Structure 1
Amino acid sequence: MRRRRRFANVAALVSALLLAIVTASCAAIPTESQPKAIPQPNAGQATQEVPEPELGLDPLSVVREFVRNSVQPANDYAASRAYLSGPLREQWQPDPSLRVIEDEFGTVYAPEAEQPADPNERVVALRAVEVGRLAADHSFIAGVEDYRTPVRVRRQADGEWRIVDPPDGIVITENDFNDAYLQVPVYFFAPDSTALVSDLRYVVARPQSGLPARVVDLLLSGPSDGLTGAVRNPIGESAALDSNVTISNDGALVVPLTGLGEEPVQERELMAAQVVRSLQHVTTSRVKLLSDGTPLVSGQPEWRPSDLPAYDTVSAPSAELPGLMTVNGRVRSLGTGAPIEGPAGSGAYQVVSAAQAINGNQLAVVVSSGDQVRLRVGDYGAQAQEVELTASLLTRPTWRPPVSKDDKSTEVWTVADGDQVTRVQQDADGQWVALPVNASELSDPGWISALRLSRDGARAALVVDGKLVVASVVRTASGATLRAPRVLQEDRLTSVVDVDWIDHDTLVAVTSSDRAPVARVSVDGFQFDQYNTSNLTPPMRAVTAAPGRPIVVADRSGLWTAAEIGAVWVPHDQSAAGAEPFYPG
């Protein structure tokens, strides 16, 4: 199982950054953001002499070592270039993306019919299972497929075998990728609220002293392709570093920006939040934010994460809301088991599924109506309006976050009859109206059995024909579109039945499989952790999660809860056969 490599030993960064002061003053300002050469101001990365490969390697070993040495990105992958023939060491221009393959891979001789007539040349077949790639914007794009490529090697004048026709790009194993790259969230905002949206990216992990500069460089490059159009970027496209990211004499990390324009103080505070939150995983230093040489926000020259407003309150349910569950056609409290007030709890509705808004003030319920189902939306505990949306089946509703924590949400999503992604929006007259969502980018328009909006509203997680899919939500004046859908962990998660968001960038999925009934997956699909299976009775039926809350799952016998990956599942206090739990959102 792969584990998230959030940088744990952040205290070591302080001394490393201080050591970089002298070298930082003469380092180059970053000019590009490509995987093979992430600009590293403050890194102190002098050109190092790369040792020649071991003598006497056979062609198969040359290709294998070429791949193994791709874990060292320093000096434009000089360590792997050492396995190329002399002229190619300078001429090779690999594709800017990076292929990540499973740790077990093969190098075998190609069939004799494909071998050159020249006895001093051999063709080696590099065979592996590709699990995804690191794109040019430093986001990981999951995708499992067989990887096969021929690699031509030639015996040199000194008798050593070297590669003369290398792969088109860098190929690196999962473990090596985990060692060489650090996952960091870079932050943007939801389009119409102050909800922070994390954009998972990967930077070269060493040297540690250059991490802050590399993270700032990624932030200034804007959102990844998968989130383009789904988030707001207060920093803007014209922002740049005025000089290098450095450590001041008093130990503060100095981030000197330029090109921010004459933005009001509210926008500049959002910019500060973007930088400080993006840096919090790679430095413990105070952050001194400058705009053209003066403090970015007047009166606030330095920042720590604790200085920022609580932007996450709009996208995280209050601890005072224990969650709800549907049991035998009624909505009950997940905390006490008591029916909630109003028709959804009294039995006036035959409730099939339900969703509570993040602030707890609204409720959407799917109710049985003969051989069909209907959606009702309204205030919590009150009579709800019936929406003009007829279907045989509707997925459990999911709420879009409000503009602020004191506002009500004006939109709830569901899927009708497995293929009609629908948002139900409140119009100017207070009526809830069903509108279609453009889901044409879903490459496989299979049966959609679950849909959960992220609590920041920027993404949607779907279960499509048992596969876990994540897409960004792009909004325009003409409507909403699910964009850049990606299947996550398709080799491990093949029978998903439900999904929910643990936090901004982490999902929990439950399946009908005995092998992996409950799993945690990063939003980009790279990290995968399987929960303990003790006490569970697959197949699983439902799951709910929220920031800072224990996971609650439903299996054949009832409800179970666990707080950690390795924890044994214990019965929920309000466990009941047939219950389906849900936290607000």
Structure 2
Amino acid sequence: MIGRRVRAAAAGIAVAALAAGCATIPVAGRVRDGGSEVSRGVDVGFIATSPAFDADPDAIVRGFLLAAQAGPTSTTPFSVAREYLASSAVTEWRPYAQVVVLDGPVQLSTPESLDQQPDRAVVHASGTVVASLDERGAFTEEPVPTTKDTTFELTREGGQWRITSLEDGLLVPAQVFNATYHRTRLYFPTPDLKNWVPDVRWFPQQTWRTNAVQEILAGPPEWLGAAVTSLLPAGTALALNSVTEGPDGNLQVPLTEQVGEASGEARGLFAAQLRATLSDGVSEGVGVTLLDRNGPIVPPDDVELPSLPRTTGQALVLRDGKLWSLAGRELVESDVAANLDGLDPTALALGSGASTVVVRDGSTRIVRVTGDRAVLLEGADLLAPSVDRFGVTWSGERAGPVEAVLPTGGRYSVAAPWLEDRTVTSLSVAPDGARLAVVSTGPGGPAVQVAGIVRDQRGVPTALATPVTVGQSVGDVSQAVWQDEAALALLGQEDGAVVYLAGVGGLAGSAGGLARRLSGVSSPTSLSATVGTGSVLALDGQGVLYLHQSSAVWPVVAQGVTLAAFPG
């Protein structure tokens, strides 16, 4: 074997900023190079440096990686990075074909047998992959870190070394990813127009608002499917490849002529959809002006707007055979009239504002204990229930199928072909009633997946869309509950029972968007959480109930607790 000289791709402080290289995937979908928008609130910029005169191949590749890393934050994306490329490669390289997120800097090496060739050089690069983005900004976390190897071929052009062959894409260390890519929640309305449903994407910092509008116009992702809807006629697109700031401070969104076919209500809802999406990270929000070829579009101002998904109501706690309400960090007697006589509650769920309370009786029955007590579901080994905003109770046999029981008692099997060879261990419906988080085991091991809930015209759940997988780096998950509008609290069992947070589409505030551990509580057996405040309840095997809020501590709320649940 030939010897290899190995070097870190950057030294000193540059190591932490090292990024882009290339990824081996077919190039498909749109390329995001284009006009630069007027950007607000970009906190971090990276200064790219042109190639040094008479730089050796190693320095050229190192410089290219650093310059490419600056591309997503530049007003002239990748213009400096392309200075490191030979003329034949300048137009062929597609930086956004895929973004590979690494757990550290790229390592460079040069085969010694090629060191002395006068007009040709090869530099190898490698890194450890923890996540990736596709060309539409969709985030995928790797189950286990994998090694990425790529090769740069160089030749002399005008006496200077330049890169002639490289793979498409970028390599971005996790420590840099959040500074160069903007985590963006694309909001789509539910079919009844009552809730916004987020779809998290990651776009280049410099053009994220333009990218966001393009993707909203492209329609919902497959994993949401018919659980949400589009507002404008098919074919509506940006008339110009840029979202800019107008003289009045509003973001101007120029649209093609198809927007004229939309109703006034649809245009008003679309403007609100863009405000919700484009205000991401701006506390005071932003104004949006829609434009067509005739000028500004003035939508009606009396349109009823959807709400962001939020949990409504306090948690209920079962202790000493009675229901208690969680008030702050204390338990108070609940005013919910529930009939628990003769039952063996092993799981608890409640609808919005505790309008409906159901329990699992042993492992064989789901019983509504408020109003007229009724057995909703019977089976041999039933899942812990979850109740959505429509009052529908979700459960079913662990071996399937997932079942939905209407408040009127109607029972429906929910089609989910992707669960046919799997055993479900946990399910949790989001506050918007449009998404279901499912934990299952089967071929490939445990998986946490989120899928859109497809309903018929009566609102009856009929199917789950093709899911997206979440928190793949967390081992042996037994339960998932909604902790944020786009994040789950996971109960992992790989190294003893541990609580994690994982983003549906990548986690906010975490390097590289990766799942992270919530330390401070030991050996919990079940979780519940609330969307809005982000509070998490953890119950251990000794009946001790812990509460996690904004700090890292888990104060004890109560002891002798049997069950605890927030609405949902």
TM-score interval for Structure 1 and Structure 2 normalised by the shorter chain: 0.7 to 0.9
The CA RMSD measured in Å over matched residues stands at 3.7
Q: Among the aligned pairs, what percent are the same residue?
A: 21
Corresponding residue number in structure 1 for 2:203: 203
Measure how far apart 1:188 and its partner are: 0.7
CA–CA separation in structure 2 for the residues paired with 1:507 and 1:124: 41
Measure how far apart 1:67 and its partner are: 3.0
CA–CA separation in structure 1 for the residues paired with 2:563 and 2:549: 18
CA–CA separation in structure 2 for the residues paired with 1:354 and 1:446: 24
Measure how far apart 1:353 and its partner are: 0.7
Q: Determine if contact 2:336/2:354 at 8 Å carries over to the other structure.
A: no
Q: Which amino acid aligns with 1:222?
A: G
In structure 1, the gaps of 5 or more residues are 1-31, 301-306, 403-408
User: 1:579/1:67 Cα in 2 relative to 1: closer, same or farther (>3 Å)?
Assistant: farther
Pick the aligned partner of 1:366 from 360, 363, 366: 360
Residue 402 of structure 2 is aligned to residue 422 of structure 1 = yes
Corresponding residue number in structure 2 for 1:551: 536
Residue 496 of structure 2 is aligned to residue 499 of structure 1 = no
Q: Which amino acid aligns with 1:85?
A: A
User: 1:334/1:89 Cα in 2 relative to 1: closer, same or farther (>3 Å)?
Assistant: same
CA–CA separation in structure 2 for the residues paired with 1:312 and 1:148: 42
Corresponding residue number in structure 1 for 2:310: 316
In structure 2, the gaps of 5 or more residues are 1-27, 41-46, 508-512
Residue 160 of structure 2 is aligned to residue 181 of structure 1 = no
User: What CA deviation, in whole Å up to 9, does each residue of 1:447-491 have, x standing for no partner?
Assistant: 432111211133222223485523222526596444443433323
User: 1:453/1:463 Cα in 2 relative to 1: closer, same or farther (>3 Å)?
Assistant: same
User: 1:308/1:504 Cα in 2 relative to 1: closer, same or farther (>3 Å)?
Assistant: farther
Moved more, 288-297 or 168-177: 288-297
CA–CA separation in structure 1 for the residues paired with 2:243 and 2:157: 47
Measure how far apart 1:212 and its partner are: 4.4
Q: Which amino acid aligns with 2:375?
A: Q
User: 1:96/1:225 Cα in 2 relative to 1: closer, same or farther (>3 Å)?
Assistant: farther
CA–CA separation in structure 2 for the residues paired with 1:530 and 1:136: 25
CA–CA separation in structure 2 for the residues paired with 1:76 and 1:248: 23
Pick the aligned partner of 1:399 from 387, 390, 395: 387
CA–CA separation in structure 1 for the residues paired with 2:334 and 2:155: 78
Give runs of ≥4 in structure 1 deviating > 6 Å. 115-119
Pick the aligned partner of 1:560 from 519, 525, 546: 546
CA–CA separation in structure 2 for the residues paired with 1:452 and 1:211: 31
Q: Secondary structure at the match of 1:229?
A: helix
For residues 41-440 of structure 1, what are the structure 2 equivalents within 5 Å? 41-42=37-38, 52-55=50-53, 57-73=55-71, 74=74, 75=76, 77-93=78-94, 96-109=97-110, 121-144=120-143, 145-156=145-156, 160-206=160-206, 212-242=209-239, 245-257=243-255, 258-281=257-280, 284-290=285-291, 293=295, 295-298=297-300, 300=301, 311-312=306-307, 315-318=309-312, 321-327=313-319, 331-335=323-327, 336=331, 338=333, 344=339, 346-368=340-362, 372-377=363-368, 380-387=370-377, 389-392=378-381, 394-402=382-390, 409=391, 411-417=392-398, 419-426=399-406, 430-440=408-418
Moved more, 540-549 or 177-186: 540-549
Q: Determine if contact 2:137/2:202 at 8 Å carries over to the other structure.
A: yes
Q: Which amino acid aligns with 2:258?
A: G
Corresponding residue number in structure 1 for 2:434: 458
- Length, aligned pairs only: 512
Measure how far apart 1:519 and its partner are: 2.6
Measure how far apart 1:329 and its partner are: 6.7
User: 1:137/1:41 Cα in 2 relative to 1: closer, same or farther (>3 Å)?
Assistant: same
CA–CA separation in structure 1 for the residues paired with 2:258 and 2:158: 55
CA–CA separation in structure 2 for the residues paired with 1:376 and 1:454: 21
Corresponding residue number in structure 1 for 2:472: 490
Moved more, 550-559 or 177-186: 550-559
Structure 2 length as normaliser, TM-score?
Answer: 0.78
Measure how far apart 1:438 and its partner are: 1.2
Q: Secondary structure at the match of 1:353?
A: strand
CA–CA separation in structure 2 for the residues paired with 1:149 and 1:530: 26
Q: Secondary structure at the match of 1:82?
A: helix
Corresponding residue number in structure 2 for 1:581: 564
Q: Determine if contact 1:56/1:160 at 8 Å carries over to the other structure.
A: yes
User: 1:297/1:555 Cα in 2 relative to 1: closer, same or farther (>3 Å)?
Assistant: same
CA–CA separation in structure 2 for the residues paired with 1:116 and 1:237: 56
CA–CA separation in structure 2 for the residues paired with 1:175 and 1:191: 39
User: What CA deviation, in whole Å up to 9, does each residue of 1:231-280 have, x standing for no partner?
Assistant: 11113433234566444444343434442244444433322321211122
CA–CA separation in structure 2 for the residues paired with 1:247 and 1:525: 28
Moved more, 509-518 or 183-192: 509-518
CA–CA separation in structure 2 for the residues paired with 1:390 and 1:156: 73
Measure how far apart 1:169 and its partner are: 2.5
Pick the aligned partner of 2:36 from 34, 40, 54: 40
Q: Determine if contact 1:142/1:486 at 8 Å carries over to the other structure.
A: no
User: 1:251/1:421 Cα in 2 relative to 1: closer, same or farther (>3 Å)?
Assistant: same
Measure how far apart 1:540 and its partner are: 4.5
Corresponding residue number in structure 2 for 1:542: 527
Measure how far apart 1:157 and its partner are: 5.8
Structure 1 length as normaliser, TM-score?
Answer: 0.76
For residues 509-548 of structure 1, what are the structure 2 equivalents within 5 Å? 509-512=490-493, 517-526=498-507, 527-528=513-514, 530=516, 533-534=519-520, 536-548=521-533
Q: Which amino acid aligns with 1:391?
A: A
User: What CA deviation, in whole Å up to 9, does each residue of 1:352-407 have, x standing for no partner?
Assistant: 11211124322232112xxx5112347x34312342x4122x222122322xxxxx
